[in-house]
Structure 1
Amino acid sequence: MISKEILFIEQQGDQIVEYAREEPLRIKRISPNSSVSRSIHSTIINFFREVLLPYGYPDSVSADYFQYQIWDTLQAFCSTITGSFTTRAILKGVGVGDAEASALSATITWILKDGSGMIGRIFFAWWKGSKLDCDSKKWRLFADFLNDLAMAIELGVPYISNRKMEILCVTSTMKSIVGIAGGATRASITHHQAVKGNMAEISAKDGTQETLVNLIASVASIYLLNVISEPLYELPFIFLMMGLHLYFNFKAVSSLIFNTLNESRAILLIQSYCNINAVLRPLTINKSESVILGKGVSISDICGFKIKLGCSLYNIVQLYNFTQMQTILELYQPYQYCLISDVKKRCIYVAFEKIVTQKVF
């Protein structure tokens, strides 16, 4: 048996291809364990890999990418199914199918609904925009909970037709918050997953995956909307979908293993070092981190004070006179930071010099 003369081996992610000499001087591309049936199967698999997964997968993404995307796909499917039923409820509420309903009234209701959502989007981005990046897990889960709550309220539109405008304005505002929080946290997660500087591609592939899932779920919704029409069966089914949606989202954000520190992870790291004199691995720290907004350990649990980094000292200067502030600033002159405490509010403010960067700090 003549052994093949391999010229070079090419690897893309977990795919390996050999290029060998073929008589007389031609080069042949060889896939390991290749056969006709395997070739057809591999062609189909490779097509979907190229369409749905980033180039170079799995080496081009973080280790938690696959697990997160599986849970994220399942939650997107449930959300689309639920959204189809709430859309039907909204259309019934605004008068679709009702001969006595006014087209002008429905149009005005829809415009006011969209307008309230725009106002809510602007307000929430101003109010909580700076918090979305560091606590992306918590805000991601909160956004999906708020989305389900909004859809649950929308289910009541056909039964409270005299208040449909108010209800739709409230739910539109809630969904606008979902859009801001979900989009911003998704960007943070994408940045974490892009280990090869391929953030744009991962974002594009995520959009492709979501579009495919929404397409499949929409087809399934057409069937389900025709089969499940009685409130006796409709409401339990919708709440089942909402429960699964929240569960899948919880599993998705819990599967993320960030290698950077936010306040919660930093506190867990400090606690472990103080208690057991060991620095825990990112996996352990992330698994211990709470993904529910408002829950988990805080810095005040350790030192009894809140600590605010890089914030304005406008409020604190009112507690000290000029001489006292001058003394504090002179005390910290050799350093690139300044600590000022507010005993009444149990808060420590940390101000940094302009030259301080993340690397220097």
Structure 2
Amino acid sequence: MPPIDSRFRQLGTVLMAAACADAVMTTSLIMTLVVMATAVRSRGMAWRRSLPPMPPASLGPLVAIEEQGRRRRLFYYSTAAVTAAPLHALPDPQRRHRRAGPLQAVLESLLPEGYFDRSRGTPPVSDDYLPFTILHFVQNVVHAAASVIATQSMLYAVGLSQRATVGISGAVQWVLKDGLGRIGAIVFGSVLGNRYDADPKRWRMRGDVLYTFGVGTEMITRLCPQYFLLVGTIANTIKSVSYMMRLPTAAAIRRNFSLRENFGDLSAKANAQEVLSMLVGTFAGIGLSYVLGSSVRGMFAFYGLYASLFVWFNYWSLRVLQIRTLNLQRCLIAMRHYWDSGGEEVLSVAAANRAESVLIPSRWAAARRVRFGCRLADAFPTRPALEQAIRRQREWRHDWYCGQQPPSQLSPSAQPEDRYLLATRPDTGTVYLVLHRDAGVLDEVRALMHASYLVRRNWGALPDLSPKRVREAYMAACTHTPLLLQALRSRGWNVDEFVHSGGLGCRSIWGRDLWDADGDRKHRESAEASPGTPVHPELSPPPSTERGLEGPMHAPPAQGDTAAEAEAQTLLPLGVAAMPEMPPMPEVVDLL
């Protein structure tokens, strides 16, 4: 009876031969279809060339031109007709020589429809599609070759671990490690949620780096065959998690390429490119497996080369990618450049993507000193700090609004409320942005404009965060935010949505909106049992009465008011009169 090693070497050879045969059959099928398509097209061209040309005398004026792919036909009236003049279609003689060869047919099957047809106004994909696709194709080839070597190593490991058992035990362990690995991927995917759309570049990079560790762990099984199930499960979990990180980003990247709502065509061609690259990589891996043989040193030397090439091609494919959607890092990069240029220059999509960091997270790069979407307690540790921020920002809003409108058009009900609050830490040079529950794209962009005006650099000297500077930044943000959005749109940016990346994602409710929050009835009813304590003015419901804008911003307290009532009166928002005493209410509702 031959030894175990030789039997599993034979098994590996059989599996590789089967994979090679499958690859050959797939390649033959693809080439057959290509040849058939080329033959049919050539036959049609020959049939059209065999048609007798219409006499020039019978041709009337040119009526229309029809285009279908690279085909083009010219429609003429016939002057020889007695009653009704029929249409005659002739192939365009200028396009007869543009017959597609086998290579052209293969490229058309791998690239989006209309990629080679530049006669139409809007191209099917953006300019960064081709360099990204080429680099990603080579990356998949390297990946497929490494998968063959890793599978060979695991076959050796499962064979060496089953010297005294039947063969079915090895199959059970193989299935178990796949199942346990997928369970780990499901848990990981439920934790991440929808963070992929915010920053597909960084998640793609993380997923590919993690995948290289998974392949390396598979190769390690050969060194410890007695722990095949444990090590194999860890390797499969790492690879499954990497798939969970990589596959969702592919949809975001393809959506960025699409310019004609041809997302389905891009997905189909991406699958065809992946199949072809995996096919080429499998052939290369089979050849490498015969060269390396059973050498452990050769296997790990190949792993070092594979990891370097895989990560390198992935990095440069992401560097050429130009995403037009605003996220936290790209938004801060564009805004700081806008402020540094005095509001005269806006970064293009390509320039902002080149400045974006693919490796370093946003919190350590562009958003190092900006805490976007932070918790309310982190920004305002005390109640007076929160009260002062609300009062101060409303006063600034009133001053800016009065400066933009003529006195005859001023109305307290027309003033929009800010959907964010800003806090500063001068000792660390950090700006905290608290977002309201109902904050939209304009509110988020204005908040970042406010913060980016204050914090221009991520490192170096601490910025000036004095109250005067913060007020100046607020006025500039209110004025320049619409101008910046308009300029960004003209440079090709998608400013209709803002995807979060690097922020904490917290939303809060404050002020008069607390009366609309869930659970306020419970707080209101429970507070009725202890009347007599004045409620904080920012938590009071909006009254039905209004007062004009003439005079000072806040009306002076009436004679006989107590000091507490006078302070509450000054904290009231613009256009809200004093309210009678009410039971205490909660300061804030944090939607976490």
Say yes or no: TM over 0.5: yes
Structure with max Cα Rg: 2
1:133 paired with 2:133, answer no
TM superposition shift of 1:96: 7.2
Q: Is the alpha carbon distance of 1:329 and 1:273 closer, same or farther for their aligned partners in structure 2, counting shifts above 3 Å?
A: closer
**Paired position in structure 2 for 1:294:** 361
Q: Partners of 2:382 and 2:183 in 1: how far apart?
A: 39
Verify the 8 A CA contact 1:80 1:218 in the aligned structure 2.
yes
TM superposition shift of 1:288: 1.4
**Paired position in structure 1 for 2:346:** 279
User: Cα deviation per residue 1:147-185 (whole Å; 9 max; x = unaligned)?
Assistant: 111111221111112332222222122112211110111
User: Cα deviation per residue 1:242-295 (whole Å; 9 max; x = unaligned)?
Assistant: 322211111111111111211111121122123233212111111111111437
Q: Is the alpha carbon distance of 1:96 and 1:17 closer, same or farther for their aligned partners in structure 2, counting shifts above 3 Å?
A: farther
Give secondary structure in 2 for the equivalent of 1:176: helix
How is 1:242-261 mapped onto 2 (pairs within 5 angstroms)? 242-261=307-326
Query: What is the aligned counterpart of 1:55 among 110, 113, 117?
Result: 113
Verify the 8 A CA contact 2:421 2:433 in the aligned structure 1.
yes
Give secondary structure in 1 for the equivalent of 2:112: coil
Verify the 8 A CA contact 2:71 2:95 in the aligned structure 1.
no
**Paired position in structure 2 for 1:160:** 224
Unaligned runs of 5+ in 2: 1-54, 81-86, 117-122, 395-415, 443-495, 499-592
1:28 paired with 2:90, answer yes
Q: Is the alpha carbon distance of 1:22 and 1:252 closer, same or farther for their aligned partners in structure 2, counting shifts above 3 Å?
A: farther
1:124 paired with 2:188, answer yes
Query: What is the aligned counterpart of 2:274 among 192, 207, 210?
Result: 210
User: Cα deviation per residue 1:130-154 (whole Å; 9 max; x = unaligned)?
Assistant: 3321211111112111111111122
1:19 paired with 2:81, answer no
Query: What is the aligned counterpart of 1:72 among 136, 146, 171?
Result: 136
**Paired position in structure 2 for 1:201:** 265
Of structures 1 and 2, the one scoring higher in RCO (CA 8 A, sep 6+) is: 1
Q: Is the alpha carbon distance of 1:21 and 1:107 closer, same or farther for their aligned partners in structure 2, counting shifts above 3 Å?
A: same
Q: Partners of 1:22 and 1:211 in 2: how far apart?
A: 48
Give secondary structure in 2 for the equivalent of 1:159: coil
- After alignment, is 339-348 or 262-271 more displaced? 339-348
TM superposition shift of 1:16: 6.6
**Paired position in structure 1 for 2:527:** none
TM superposition shift of 1:221: 2.5
Query: What is the aligned counterpart of 1:88 among 152, 157, 160?
Result: 152
Q: Partners of 2:93 and 2:146 in 1: how far apart?
A: 44
Q: Is the alpha carbon distance of 1:360 and 1:198 closer, same or farther for their aligned partners in structure 2, counting shifts above 3 Å?
A: closer
Q: Is the alpha carbon distance of 1:193 and 1:237 closer, same or farther for their aligned partners in structure 2, counting shifts above 3 Å?
A: same
Q: Is the alpha carbon distance of 1:177 and 1:328 closer, same or farther for their aligned partners in structure 2, counting shifts above 3 Å?
A: same
Q: Is the alpha carbon distance of 1:84 and 1:190 closer, same or farther for their aligned partners in structure 2, counting shifts above 3 Å?
A: same
Verify the 8 A CA contact 1:78 1:241 in the aligned structure 2.
yes
- After alignment, is 288-297 or 211-220 more displaced? 288-297
TM superposition shift of 1:89: 0.8
1:335 paired with 2:417, answer yes
Q: Is the alpha carbon distance of 1:76 and 1:164 closer, same or farther for their aligned partners in structure 2, counting shifts above 3 Å?
A: same
Q: Partners of 1:232 and 1:360 in 2: how far apart?
A: 51
TM superposition shift of 1:105: 3.8
TM superposition shift of 1:18: 4.4
- After alignment, is 130-139 or 247-256 more displaced? 130-139
User: Cα deviation per residue 1:24-65 (whole Å; 9 max; x = unaligned)?
Assistant: 864222363534xx53xx153553244222222261111111
Q: Partners of 1:125 and 1:325 in 2: how far apart?
A: 37
Give secondary structure in 1 for the equivalent of 2:417: coil
Verify the 8 A CA contact 2:161 2:228 in the aligned structure 1.
no
**Paired position in structure 1 for 2:255:** 191
Q: Is the alpha carbon distance of 1:26 and 1:127 closer, same or farther for their aligned partners in structure 2, counting shifts above 3 Å?
A: same
**Paired position in structure 2 for 1:169:** 233
Q: How much identity, in percent, do the aligned residues show?
A: 24
The alignment of Structure 1 onto Structure 2 pairs a total of residues equal to 349
- With normalisation by structure 1, the TM-score equals 0.82
Give secondary structure in 2 for the equivalent of 1:61: coil
Q: Partners of 1:179 and 1:92 in 2: how far apart?
A: 25
In structure 1, give the amino acid aligned to 2:141. F
Verify the 8 A CA contact 2:419 2:439 in the aligned structure 1.
no
Q: Partners of 2:431 and 2:168 in 1: how far apart?
A: 54
